[in-house]
């Protein structure tokens, strides 16, 4: 075998390897282009959603939250749940020490506020919660402000008196579990609960609950009937 043939023979494996790589790249490009989503508008167009619903082709049709778009202004930090969220069963104590639970809240819209006497923003917020309860509280709505201090209800009772919260009932958490059960991450934390006992929104931190935006939010929740059944 002459030198030219030897060079050609030695180069053959390299040529085969290069050819294989090129073919693989070409094949990958073909698959990618056939599967990749198109941004030029030529792909399939989804059918328009029915008014008041939000769902994909194979998803459950979920009515839009009646609170959608109301979290603005003083309520800008309010998180609207796109779908009512199941809450774990929890308990707390009333003014006389009687045990209450999530089941006792059903039938009315509840603004459940978790607070403590050592929480400075809670002191600033409580008069606003009291004003909201004084104006809108009744058979269909209640501000349920639950104190999580340890050592009994005396400090909480004094706090309500000092802040002029005469319309807020004294509720406490003797179990010490409420904060973690409701996955609160700050103080205060406030949940808006519908008539069926499900969370429809929450706000972490203080807010102006006496504002017009807060009242519109509550009124929208109250105007929403409980689910059938």
Mean pLDDT (10-residue bins), the chain, 229 residues? 46 42 36 29 32 47 80 96 96 92 96 97 97 98 97 94 97 94 95 97 97 97 81
User: Rounded to an integer, what distance in angstroms lies between the CA atom of residue 200 and that of residue 91?
Assistant: 19
Tell whether 41 is covered by a domain.
Answer: no
| Residue 98 C-alpha from the chain's centroid | 30
Quick one: pLDDT at residue 91? 96
Residue 182 within any structural domain of the chain: yes
Instruction: Tell me if 9 is assigned to some domain.
Output: no
The structural domain count of the chain equals: 1
Range of the domain at 70: 66-223
Asked if the structure places residue 39 within a domain, the reply is: no
The answer to whether the CB of 104 falls within 8 A of the CB of 216 is no
Instruction: Read off the CATH number of the domain in which 144 is found.
Output: 3.40.30.10
Give the span between the Cα atoms of 161 and 172, in whole angstroms: 15
pLDDT confidence of residue 32: 28
172 is a domain residue:
yes
């Amino acid at each position: 075998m002459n030198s030219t043939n030897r060079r050609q023979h030695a180069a053959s494996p390299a040529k085969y390897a290069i050819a294989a790589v090129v073919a693989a790249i070409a094949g990958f490009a073909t698959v990618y282009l056939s599967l990749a989503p198109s941004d030029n508008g030529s792909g399939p167009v989804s059918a328009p959603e029915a008014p008041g619903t939000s769902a994909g082709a194979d998803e459950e049709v979920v009515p839009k939250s009646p609170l959608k778009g109301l979290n603005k202004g003083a309520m800008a930090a309010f998180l609207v749940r796109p779908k009512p969220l199941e809450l774990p069963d929890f308990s707390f104590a009333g003014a006389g020490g009687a045990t209450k639970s999530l089941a006792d809240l059903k039938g009315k819209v509840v603004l459940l506020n978790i607070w403590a006497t050592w929480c400075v923003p809670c002191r600033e917020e409580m008069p606003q919660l009291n004003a909201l309860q004084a104006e809108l509280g009744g058979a269909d709505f209640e501000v349920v402000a639950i104190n999580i201090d340890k050592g009994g209800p005396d400090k909480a009772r004094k706090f309500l008196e000092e802040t002029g919260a005469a319309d807020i009932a004294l509720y406490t958490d003797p179990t010490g579990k409420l904060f973690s059960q409701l996955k609160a991450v700050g103080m205060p934390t406030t949940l808006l609960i519908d008539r069926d006992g499900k969370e429809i929104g929450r706000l972490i931190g203080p807010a102006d609950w006496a504002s017009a935006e807060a009242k519109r939010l509550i009124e929208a929740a109250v105007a929403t009937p409980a689910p059938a059944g």
